[in-house]
Amino acid sequence: MNELVLKEMNQEIVAYLYQPEGNGDYGEIIYSFAKKKAEASKIADKDEYGRYADKACTKVEECVEKNNLPIKFTQAWY
């Protein structure tokens, strides 16, 4: 599970903070409109192998494609 919070949005990027399992320090995901891709610019402390960052990148890309950028949301998977 990731908690995602919109940090910044402008004509070049969309930036979200992500927090694995709802605790610990946040990591950061940056979606670049030029690249049409999201990448982790900072891995969260509790994200030992970057798996949570990968999930967050996929979700941010999906949100941008759907033109739906919530201010805060929970991403869950099983």
What is the predicted pLDDT for the residue at 4? Answer: 98
What is the residue-averaged pLDDT of the chain? 96
Task: Say how many C-beta atoms besides its own lie within 10 A of residue 55's C-beta.
Answer: 20
Q: What are residue 18's DSSP bridge partners?
A: 4, 27
pLDDT digits (tens, 9 = 90+) for 50-71: 999 999 999 999 999 999 999 9
Closest to 69 in 3D by CA, of 11, 20, 14: 14
Confidence of residue 78 (pLDDT cuts 50, 70, 90): confident
What is the predicted pLDDT for the residue at 9? Answer: 97
- Tell me, what DSSP letter sits at residue 26? -
